[in-house]
Structure 1
């Protein structure tokens, strides 16, 4: 073997195998990638999504530093909401400490740097375990961390997506659990808890899929059934510990999902060609958005000769299939959305991140193949050098694309704070950062789920706390903070106190009873002089924190016993893992709190469920070849002042409906021109398959009239198989006669000529 490549490779491998040297390299690469964002520290990203998501962190910092409270409730957005139960908040994780120390905006680029280092180190450890190649894992780790998705996350303010960089730690923890190593329990439970606390609405469920795949792979490693049963026991304990350590965030999120259900509609698909462009960039243009630098394909090709590459190839194939969404007739993504919690996923192309991850693992395996032969073959040694050079070139290319994206971030000066008493305002969800600086709440809501908001919220009240009957007395604010209100009330007779914020069952009052007054936070008070103190003490937040503390205590006991080389029996590990969940169940039974009923509304705010056809709607009766009836429709005669046409269809489900059934809406003019307004989810909440039976279902949707030519238009509706063969479902009149083409006339409207 040639001396030159051998010395180079031996030096590179020594750096990779030495933790301190390796981390120095990873820190240097992360600093290189985060250099421009660090230079933007302190400025405000004016992108609309960033305005919403960042403001949650700003509110949490303000709650802790100025009021000395946990950021459980935030009054500054949507009229007040449960911050710990909001999917997009990220303060319930250790990175929040940096926001407290540096300020929320200055902390964000620091978090980018730290997560990039974490991602590279986690990838190195997982890829080394999977492939056995120290050098291969070292040179491909930056290719995963410098993924274009993380640059786009910085550009759009989706800091929550940095949680995807904890993916390798979750997989590493699972692999170690399968080897019955206690450290795996800590890694898996800790990574998931941090990911969930950091706002992991996408990272957590998507990562959970591949953790399950890793667990199945680990179960197949032992050769005997008794060994597999022991591994299964460890995996069960890992699942229980993970649930327990995540309870502080999981319980509030489950509570929110129950009170504000939302299903994402549509059938997005990604063709193989588009997926390849998204993954590797456009040929000849490497300065933009892509998931993986193309030179890694050279390393991937070498992995074809490695037996260790079989699992990463399988995982990469499943990732590509999921990322294709509905493009193929046989859709794995469609099957995934049939599972609980996964029906909220609407961007299958984000699975391309996992495809890029496993391709990078394959790259590490490919370099490992040549490394194993390098001692015997000079050609193989030079091949390893070449592949290392390809990985280095890919890293430079990835950083170039990363930099091109982050440079497009629109940064404006941080708004000047105005110190004044808190009050609600009409607001603007795309400029929420300015409202927080003004200590004003924005009634305009930009959340990703239907926040239960009171229709009685106002942005023009002279006083935020008032009596329903003004003649019954007076209210004076003594002290205000997000989680605590102190009021002096003089009531000449029994009265209801109202606070201009949304009601939540977690609010408690020192006097009287907390009630919902048309969705507003209210207190039923007797006559007299009262010092009323309102506190926000949600069962799910406080109880979940207790469960998580117990789970971490159990992991601590397990770690101490393992360190003393005193292995615990299987039943002891099971007790430590299951104990916190038993406490969780007992808290749910013993700690009573009124449930927040789900508020089922359409995007336009109208109720989703109605008992009878509204008088303004016209009858349009039809029965279909599935147990669904159309009872009526509301079609406006012309566009409104904003050029919008708002339609409503009234359906009734009488039996079990197949999952593939959806609504087609054809808007046709007298010349035969047509536009489609097809959809599969009613009001953004129910598939026909899951819709309640009995009440009418108001299905509201809107189109923009300016894109329609002037004239008279008919609205024809029906049902069809949105998957399967795409055929229309037979429509019948109430008398049983077939309706031509399965299309029911819902109404007509006229688009006037342009002035």
Structure 2
């Protein structure tokens, strides 16, 4: 037993051996992705998200430009401001060198190694055992959801594997080490650039909790005061380091908020199956997509018994994560409370909190193994060495099960088969096409932009975009002159224009305030990029120079320069501490510069036109003739002005309804619209409840004192024939579920606080 422990200890403490072990495990786990490198993943989300990386790599390698503007997606969008792009990450260099598709499995392998190494460094300090940390590291690093993320094109979620590095950096910073500040700032900046819509805010949450844990464990007023100084400097430098990406993201989200509605929930049984059921080799409905080998959970009671004090924090955090993962199914719902905070309001899937739950369960496994090994070495009981050996053997065997599950999940990727695993390239001038949001992987190879947009946030898109133009740059009035493309690149377009009178040059891409021109004035023509020109012959050069991207990069450079200055100062004067008022002042310089840029420079905002799912505008001037006035008022400042319910489904069995609302004051965040559809006797009531108006606004955020059209449809496929009523009202969807009192136009309370909006008749199936 002692010789075996020495061998494990040697492997754990020698970085070269440890990293070699992690590299081999990662290689086996992602062998299939590596063998399929370069192939096209035909899953719809992969088409969309991979096209962003492909666009960034092409911009860098073919045009020698930074990927600021992406003309191939949604009619043109700000690449740095799109939350799910990872073109602002250093990993883009790997995509540029290998090709975007070949780079993905290589990056997956690298993240697995980084995740296991980061967990080892974190758990060794917490468990006090290199062997325990080594044994538990693959349990976290090979967590199932990372494999699933690759299979469906969500490589951004591999950023969760950097969570232990954030916590290690937080602890180091609290101890007064400048390397901790650098680590936290670097990881957050990397995650933002990598498109971490979930890893970044969740990482910030656990960094805040780790900060509290570390401050609690420190003893002595002086140590805690120093920790506060260094943690304050960490926050300042992290904000500055992230500005290059944070500024564009905030700008985009304020102009076009990303709405994630609904009340998702999971039972404990469902969560258990997600984590413990071995995933099949194929099938997206299989619940094992968060697989964590059961031996990790089996060691949790051991940690609570033998390492009770150290186990309390990870046990509490694991329990909180599971509570969060239950979503709205838990009563009360911790997830619902979290979504009321601005940073977390865009969270859609609560089960993703199983990822940090798995992290803390793996920490408990490391604690349990460390405690068992201590008992074995001290030989407090005769059975201690055997139990420790059995536990270590079970965990090592668990590596194999975890690798097998990971490999199964990578097989869920629907890779295009030979002999044409990738779309053929076509050398032709760029032009927009009508496109298909779920087939964008084919469009870039053809040098075609897709004006069908599948983003999860309302991209500002012009209704004037066309996919059938003979040329992409043209004059608004053809008789005013001629326009001829000279050169086209993603961030720069050159056009020769001869105008017999003042004219407007139109470019078949979306307008953004970052576009500038060498001649005339850049304007928006119903959201289309345009340049107002004087009479004469001109070489018009359009350049995309976004204030937030360039200014944010300057702020980030200042932040890293400040960290470099503190490192130089510490090396030059090692006897003097680097922290204190001076460090905070240096950290504040980039933020002051950021504020100065905001104050001294201004530009208009590209806003998306709020529309319903059917493309109709949400804000309307007047009621249509077929709308029936209602005039119902509620105990919140809202009025149901009118309703439009057809008498029967259309030829496809769809019932298209519209509710016309007016909001005159602040509405509680919990308010939602319920639409109940009771049918013939014996049928089950249908619902079309929603908390977001037109898929765009929460009710508290809708425009005030205007007429709002809430259009939606229900499918009556397989519904029983007969009359179905439409009952409408308001309720506290995110609160206690109670209805909000309603009154009719005459001021009298309405029965059950609901409005009878109309009825429609579903014909017998034979008659359809």
Matched with 1:227 is 223
Matched with 1:742 is 753
Query: Which secondary structure state, in structure 2, belongs to the residue aligned with residue 44 of structure 1?
Result: coil
Q: CA 1:139–1:68 in structure 2 vs 1: closer, same or farther (change >3 Å)?
A: same
Paired residues of 1:288 and 1:402 also in contact (CA < 8 A): no
Q: For 1:445 and 1:87, locate their aligned partners in 2 and report how far apart those are by CA, in whole Å.
A: 14
How far off is 1:382 after superposition? 2.6
After the TM superposition, which residues 61-210 of structure 1 pair with which residues of structure 2 at under 5 Å, given as runs?
61-210=57-206
Matched with 1:624 is 634
Cα-to-partner distance string for 1:696-746 (whole Å, 9 max, x where unaligned): 332222222324344443221011232444332222112112222222122
Query: Which secondary structure state, in structure 1, belongs to the residue aligned with residue 259 of structure 2?
Result: coil
Matched with 2:294 is 294
Paired residues of 1:613 and 1:631 also in contact (CA < 8 A): no
Decide which of 488, 493, 506 is 2:496's aligned counterpart. Answer: 488
Q: For 1:310 and 1:569, locate their aligned partners in 2 and report how far apart those are by CA, in whole Å.
A: 32
After the TM superposition, which residues 238-387 of structure 1 pair with which residues of structure 2 at under 5 Å, given as runs?
238-281=234-277, 288-304=288-304, 305-306=306-307, 307-377=309-379, 379-387=383-391
Decide which of 384, 396, 402 is 1:398's aligned counterpart. Answer: 402
Matched with 2:44 is 48
Matched with 2:620 is 610
How far off is 1:287 after superposition? 11
Paired residues of 1:287 and 1:401 also in contact (CA < 8 A): no
Decide which of 502, 506, 513 is 2:510's aligned counterpart. Answer: 502
How far off is 1:692 after superposition? 3.7
Q: For 1:364 and 1:34, locate their aligned partners in 2 and report how far apart those are by CA, in whole Å.
A: 24
Q: For 1:436 and 1:643, locate their aligned partners in 2 and report how far apart those are by CA, in whole Å.
A: 37
Query: Which secondary structure state, in structure 1, belongs to the residue aligned with residue 378 of structure 2?
Result: coil
Q: For 1:641 and 1:555, locate their aligned partners in 2 and report how far apart those are by CA, in whole Å.
A: 66
Decide which of 407, 410, 435 is 2:411's aligned counterpart. Answer: 407
Matched with 1:567 is 577
Matched with 1:389 is 393
Q: For 2:394 and 2:313, locate their aligned partners in 1 and report how far apart those are by CA, in whole Å.
A: 24
Query: Which secondary structure state, in structure 2, belongs to the residue aligned with residue 430 of structure 1?
Result: coil
Q: Does 1:551 align with 2:559?
A: yes
How far off is 1:446 after superposition? 1.1
Decide which of 721, 729, 732 is 2:740's aligned counterpart. Answer: 729
Paired residues of 2:142 and 2:402 also in contact (CA < 8 A): yes
**Structure 2 length normalisation: TM-score?**
0.95
Q: CA 1:256–1:373 in structure 2 vs 1: closer, same or farther (change >3 Å)?
A: same
Paired residues of 1:296 and 1:390 also in contact (CA < 8 A): no
How far off is 1:616 after superposition? 4.3
Q: CA 1:569–1:210 in structure 2 vs 1: closer, same or farther (change >3 Å)?
A: closer
Matched with 1:651 is 661
Q: For 1:484 and 1:461, locate their aligned partners in 2 and report how far apart those are by CA, in whole Å.
A: 20
Query: Which secondary structure state, in structure 1, belongs to the residue aligned with residue 147 of structure 2?
Result: helix
Cα-to-partner distance string for 1:259-306 (whole Å, 9 max, x where unaligned): 111321111111111111112226999995343100112322221121
How far off is 1:752 after superposition? 4.1
How far off is 1:225 after superposition? 4.2
Q: For 1:401 and 1:42, locate their aligned partners in 2 and report how far apart those are by CA, in whole Å.
A: 23
Matched with 1:702 is 713
Paired residues of 2:290 and 2:354 also in contact (CA < 8 A): no
How far off is 1:195 after superposition? 0.9
Paired residues of 2:273 and 2:287 also in contact (CA < 8 A): no
Q: For 2:94 and 2:394, locate their aligned partners in 1 and report how far apart those are by CA, in whole Å.
A: 36
Paired residues of 2:509 and 2:529 also in contact (CA < 8 A): yes
Q: For 1:537 and 1:447, locate their aligned partners in 2 and report how far apart those are by CA, in whole Å.
A: 23
Decide which of 528, 533, 542 is 2:541's aligned counterpart. Answer: 533
Q: CA 1:642–1:66 in structure 2 vs 1: closer, same or farther (change >3 Å)?
A: farther
Q: For 1:672 and 1:516, locate their aligned partners in 2 and report how far apart those are by CA, in whole Å.
A: 56
Paired residues of 1:6 and 1:381 also in contact (CA < 8 A): no
Paired residues of 2:522 and 2:531 also in contact (CA < 8 A): yes
Q: CA 1:616–1:489 in structure 2 vs 1: closer, same or farther (change >3 Å)?
A: farther
After the TM superposition, which residues 420-499 of structure 1 pair with which residues of structure 2 at under 5 Å, given as runs?
420-499=428-507
Q: For 2:147 and 2:736, locate their aligned partners in 1 and report how far apart those are by CA, in whole Å.
A: 40
Query: Which secondary structure state, in structure 1, belongs to the residue aligned with residue 103 of structure 2?
Result: helix
Q: For 1:617 and 1:676, locate their aligned partners in 2 and report how far apart those are by CA, in whole Å.
A: 21
Q: For 2:89 and 2:155, locate their aligned partners in 1 and report how far apart those are by CA, in whole Å.
A: 13
Query: Which secondary structure state, in structure 2, belongs to the residue aligned with residue 649 of structure 1?
Result: strand
Cα-to-partner distance string for 1:5-59 (whole Å, 9 max, x where unaligned): 1110111011101111111111111111111111001111011110001111111
Q: For 2:428 and 2:157, locate their aligned partners in 1 and report how far apart those are by CA, in whole Å.
A: 34
Count of matched residue pairs = 751
Q: For 1:287 and 1:278, locate their aligned partners in 2 and report how far apart those are by CA, in whole Å.
A: 5
Q: CA 1:560–1:372 in structure 2 vs 1: closer, same or farther (change >3 Å)?
A: farther
How far off is 1:434 after superposition? 0.7
Q: For 2:257 and 2:89, locate their aligned partners in 1 and report how far apart those are by CA, in whole Å.
A: 25
Matched with 2:588 is 578
Q: For 1:482 and 1:407, locate their aligned partners in 2 and report how far apart those are by CA, in whole Å.
A: 35
Q: For 2:37 and 2:263, locate their aligned partners in 1 and report how far apart those are by CA, in whole Å.
A: 39
Query: Which secondary structure state, in structure 2, belongs to the residue aligned with residue 532 of structure 1?
Result: strand
Q: For 2:79 and 2:652, locate their aligned partners in 1 and report how far apart those are by CA, in whole Å.
A: 34
